[in-house]
Amino acid sequence: ETGLFLVQHVHKHVNQANSTVSAVVRPRKQMVTRTTNCIRLDFPPVSRKNCISMFKNAWNLGSISGIKIRLHWTFVLLPMFIYFSSLMDGHGMAAAITSVVFVLAIFGCVLLHELGHAFAARQFGIATRDIILLPIGGVASLERMPRNPLQELWIAVAGPLVNVVIAAALMIGLP
């Protein structure tokens, strides 16, 4: 251990006189909490129940290379919002459907991005439980975090590299 410490739990103790905030500091190696459904930092403390129930309302869409692909129920709200917003703006049904297809294509890219993270992790022997698509993006749930920082860097960069490949393919393929 290098002696570096990170804040694990912050307990706010507000003193009326000087408004101070105190924190409990623990060694870095105690920072990561592994639960049955996600890996998270204990900042702020979250119960295991909340971590597991956060994505319990996701529907299974299938799997790709053994990685379950799931869709959170709130995702359905996004295409509906896009469709009705387009209709309300007076663009017509064809434009509304085109807008929804465009949003779904973007989320196809989000799925490929998350698969990039998952396949990079697989290179280092780290399995991915599932990928969950949400209206704000996607989450690839890895079984564990890599112990080697370079492996972690490669896994982190793999997703955006997929986006670069998609952008290059679109630039070459579109007139």
Give the CA radius of gyration of the chain: 21
CA distance 128 to 139: 10
Catalytic residue, chosen from 1, 114, 143, 152, is 114
d(CA 34, CA 5): 19
Distant-in-sequence, close-in-space partners of 117: CB < 8 Å, separation ≥ 6:
128, 140, 142, 155, 156, 158, 159
Exposure b/e, 150-162, CB count within 10 A at least 16 = b:
ebbebbeebbeeb
Told to judge if 114 belongs to the known catalytic residues of this protein, a careful annotator would answer yes
**Antiparallel, parallel or unpaired: β 22-27 and 32-34:** unpaired
Residues annotated as catalytic are 114
